[in-house]
């Protein structure tokens, strides 16, 4: 789903999924990403942000040969965050999927209620550092596909090796990529590759370490895993969707949004 902007050929607004039950998928992904769905041209849209791609679900018959040609990667700030993300997904209707993962693989493969595969990436992954919670849109294709979208969107290539490409908005955020992590001829995903050196976060990105915060109605403090926040001004940041854990192990979701910097606020 693209739209025209005067400063570039096309603007990526959302990725559209054909679905037997668009409302169910919108509820699932809305819960995972902490976004509210809005009606949009006969479908349901989970609006994105300048650095996080939107998702759109429309009534349709997904073609079997195209199922899982495209899938999403979610990042983790810590092992606890990864496990909490998986637990939240399963509670919302996801299922674990065996696509031939190896015992040493650290990512976790799940399927949403419609059978679309997605991965919860392990903490410490350097390639997706700074990309946000919805870090990557992975799809099958050749290097030419990456070059096409790089030119069409006006986004630079951030990976170009062995017919594998990835492009990213100059603002950062979700990274659409080619067959990297995605060898669909063999399985849905492979171990996340490690690049020689970590990517340097954009100057407006700030790492917030694990914090224990007070939440009204909860006895004791809630542990919020470390995460990146985007600086919007001296006294305002954009915070991604967060998952906190209470002393009793309960999960609390905190929606994405703008907040004061972490040193100026008590809440997550």
- Copy the structure tokens of residue 37: 């769905």
Q: What is the pLDDT of residues 139-153, one digit of tens each?
A: 777 778 777 767 766
Q: What is the pLDDT of residues 186-245, one digit of tens each?
A: 333 333 333 333 344 445 677 788 888 888 888 888 888 877 788 888 888 888 888 888
Three-class DSSP category at 267: coil
For 71-88, b/e burial (b = at least 16 CB within 10 A) is bbbbbbbbebbbbbbbeb
Query: Distance between CA 227 and CA 100 in Å, rounded?
Result: 30
Q: What is the pLDDT of residues 29-78, one digit of tens each?
A: 999 999 899 998 888 999 887 778 889 999 988 776 666 677 788 988 88
Query: Distance between CA 127 and CA 101 in Å, rounded?
Result: 20
Query: Distance between CA 138 and CA 69 in Å, rounded?
Result: 8
* Residues 93/28, Cβ–Cβ less than 8 Å: yes
Sheet hosting strand 14-19, strand order edge to edge: 14-19, 54-59, 43-46, 38-40
Query: How many CA atoms lie within 13 Å of 180's alpha carbon, on the beta-carbon side?
Result: 27
Query: Distance between CA 222 and CA 121 in Å, rounded?
Result: 23
Annotated domain spans of the chain: 2-177, 205-264
Query: Distance between CA 239 and CA 246 in Å, rounded?
Result: 20
- Confirm or reject CATH 3.40.50.2300 for domain 2-177, answering yes or no: no
Helices (H) then strands (E): counts for the chain: 3, 22
């Amino acid at each position: 789903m693209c739209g025209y902007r005067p400063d570039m050929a096309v603007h990526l607004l959302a990725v559209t999924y054909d679905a037997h039950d668009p409302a169910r998928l919108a509820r699932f992904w809305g819960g995972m990403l902490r976004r509210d769905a809005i009606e949009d041209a006969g479908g349901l849209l989970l609006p994105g942000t300048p650095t996080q791609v939107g998702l759109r679900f429309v009534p349709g018959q997904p073609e079997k040969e195209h199922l899982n040609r495209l899938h999403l990667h979610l990042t983790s700030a810590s092992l606890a965050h990864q496990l909490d993300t998986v637990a939240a997904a399963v509670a919302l209707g996801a299922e674990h999927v065996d696509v031939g993962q190896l015992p040493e693989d650290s990512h976790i493969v799940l399927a949403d209620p419609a059978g679309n595969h997605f991965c919860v990436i392990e903490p410490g992954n350097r390639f997706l550092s700074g990309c946000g919670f919805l870090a990557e849109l992975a799809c099958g294709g050749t290097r030419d596909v990456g070059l096409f979208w790089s030119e069409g969107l006006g986004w630079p290539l951030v990976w170009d090796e062995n017919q594998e490409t990835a492009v990213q908005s100059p603002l950062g955020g979700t990274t659409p990529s080619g067959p990297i992590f995605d060898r669909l001829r063999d399985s849905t995903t492979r171990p996340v590759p490690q690049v020689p050196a970590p990517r340097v976060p954009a100057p407006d990105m700030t790492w917030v370490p694990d914090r224990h915060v007070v939440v009204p109605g909860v006895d004791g403090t809630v542990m919020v895993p470390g995460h990146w926040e985007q600086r919007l001004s001296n006294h305002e940041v954009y915070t991604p969707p967060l998952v906190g854990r209470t002393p009793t192990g309960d999960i609390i979701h905190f929606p994405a949004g703008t907040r004061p910097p972490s040193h100026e606020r008590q809440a997550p």
